Amino acid sequence: MKRVSIVGSTGSIGKQSLDVIRCNGDIFAVTALAAGENMELLLEQAVEFKPRMVALRNTEKAAKLKSQLAGLNIQVYGGEEGILRCAADDDADILVNGMVGISGFLPTLWAIRSGKNIALANKETLVAGGRLIKDEAKNYGVRIIPVDSEHSAIFQCIGSTPLEQVRRIILTASGGPFFGKTAADMQSATVRDALRHPNWKMGRKITVDSATLMNKGLEVIEARWLFDIQAENIDVVIHPQSIVHSMVEFVDGAVLAQLGTPDMRIPIQHALTYPERRENEFPRYDPVAAGKLEFFAPDTHTFPCLELAYKALEEGGTMPAVLNGANEVAVAGFLRGHVQFTSIPEVVRRVMEKHNTVAEYDMEEILYWDEWSRKEAERIIERIGAG
């Protein structure tokens, strides 16, 4: 029996992870669940899966949850400390980190330091502190298994092939709801427009990131750390069908691709059962029914966030953390109606231009510059406005 803790259990990845566990109840047990605000759903999950502990970042709601779970022998914690308790739960063998944004950074670090393998869906962990996280994982003998469909695909394609035999990796991007649009077309883009993803069902923040192509930029940085591959060996192509989840080209010219339906439960299950594979009843890919597969070069003029991410990766040090923090605030500003969709990359660019990169960093440095970038982004948003 593999024991699993999940942080971000009420989000998209968390709910789909629990669906995978529900379908494989003979080999998985849930030891801890943590969420931010959704007390009602966390209550339902706790009653069904009966973990040893649960946590809510909202301390007032955590107190209410504790009273509602009385008699079930489930420990209830509140605040950031509660989230970290669940991430580092001694009873768990593996942590699924499905949290959104930089909030997933410390849970990953705490889980690593408690000796747990990580099924990582929180790309911001490696974007903000890739070198630190990889060093810690090596020091504690912990394996990081990617959950993102693209990185799971690369992980599967590379397998046990030595790194020196990998020429490049090719990340695929759906293009989001604005594929083929011009900057002028997107001037009046609404939140509803940006959240209308053609293929995937995801949370609001990642869906907007998909629309700006920042999500793919963050995945480029994540891939650099996951697979020890330099930026010049990581390419991005637009693949509107979302069937080819990514590709790997080897030094002999061979290219391997991992294909499947756009269903996150497949890479989640692979991360949880690795190195084994297990039957499931998830939708299957039918090449005849799916029809043609198309690939296009990304339009970085219309979607500059991808280029900004490459620049942050090239700069290195604390710049990716600044990129990420500024983007989180810019996206939140757009979702609240404070800035236009097309202002998101402008906010990020201006914050990056104000930052003097720190080459060597520790945990405190990452958190400091993350907070700095957020404050700078808020100031810029106040000046730009929604137009």
Whether the per-residue pLDDT at 386 is higher than 60: the answer is no
Yes or no: say if 7 and 107 are a contact pair by the CB < 8 Å rule.
Answer: yes
Find the mean pLDDT for residues 193-209.
83
Residue 150 pLDDT grade (very low, low, confident, very high; cuts 50, 70, 90): very high
What φ, ψ does residue 94 adopt, rounded to 5°? -145, 140
How far apart CA 204 and CA 335 sit, in angstroms, is 8
pTM across the whole model: 0.94
Count the Cβ atoms, other than its own, within 10 Å of residue 360: 8
Residues 6 or more apart from 335 whose CB is under 8 A from it? 191, 204, 205, 208
Name the percent of the chain lying above pLDDT 90: 90
Residues 316-353: pLDDT tens digits?
999 999 999 999 999 999 999 999 999 999 999 999 99
3-state class (DSSP) for residue 58: coil
Whether the per-residue pLDDT at 210 is higher than 60: the answer is yes
Whether the per-residue pLDDT at 387 is higher than 60: the answer is no
Q: Per-domain residue ranges for the chain? A: 2-147, 149-262+283-300, 316-387
Strands 244-250 and 144-146: unpaired
Whether the per-residue pLDDT at 294 is higher than 60: the answer is yes
How far apart CA 26 and CA 154 sit, in angstroms, is 29
CATH match for 2-147 among 3.30.2020.30, 1.10.10.60, 3.40.50.720, 3.20.20.140: 3.40.50.720
Find the mean pLDDT for residues 48-76.
95
Whether the per-residue pLDDT at 244 is higher than 70: the answer is yes
Tell which residue, 86, 26, 29, has the closest CA to residue 55. 86
Q: What is the pLDDT of residue 203?
A: 80
Find the mean pLDDT for residues 92-98.
97
Q: What is the pLDDT of residue 275?
A: 95
Instruction: Tell me whether residue 361 is exposed, middle or buried, using C-beta atoms within 10 angstroms of its C-beta: 0 to 12, 13 to 18, 19 or more.
Output: buried
Cα 95 to Cα 39, 156, 206, 212, 215: the distances in Å are 21, 20, 21, 29, 22
With the CA atoms of 133, 137, 138 and 140 taken in that order, what torsion angle do they form, in degrees rounded to the nearest 10? 140
Find the mean pLDDT for residues 10-18.
96
Q: Where are the beta strands (DSSP E) in the chain?
A: 2-7, 28-35, 53-56, 75-78, 94-97, 117-120, 144-146, 166-173, 234-238, 244-250, 255-259
Find the mean pLDDT for residues 139-159.
97
Lowest mean pLDDT among 189-193, 201-205, 328-332: 201-205
Find the mean pLDDT for residues 273-280.
95
**Mean pLDDT across the chain, nearest whole number?**
95
Is CATH 1.10.1740.10 the classification given to domain 316-387? yes
Q: DSSP secondary structure string, 165-177?
A: GEEEEEEEE--GG
**CA angle, corner 107, sides to 359 and 104, nearest 5?**
70
